[in-house]
Amino acid sequence: MSTDLHWFKSSYSGGQGGECVEVALTPTTIHIRDSKTPTDHGQRAVQITPTTWTTFLNSLP
């Protein structure tokens, strides 16, 4: 995973800090990570397609 990704905090995360979902967007991949679970090699992240991301967002109430 590239360190050049621009990560931002999800609007669904709380304002208290420390525990949030972060997202980085590229034209072909959406990277999602939990900021409270670092590993020795950085943060673990899930990569999904923009279509899957849109489907997920549209399913939220």
Give, in order, the Cα–Cα distances in Å from 10 to each of 31, 40, 41, 56.
12, 24, 22, 14
Greater model confidence, 48 or 11 = 48
pLDDT of residue 17: 60
pLDDT band at 43 (very low <50, low <70, confident <90, very high): low
Do the Cβ atoms of 24 and 3 come closer than 8 Å?
Answer: no
Report domain extents, the chain: 7-59
Q: pLDDT digit string (tens) for 1-29? A: 445 888 888 776 666 666 678 888 999 99
% of the chain with per-residue pLDDT over 90:
26
Task: Supply the pTM of this predicted model.
Answer: 0.67
- pLDDT reading at 30 higher than 90: yes
- Per DSSP, 7 falls in state E
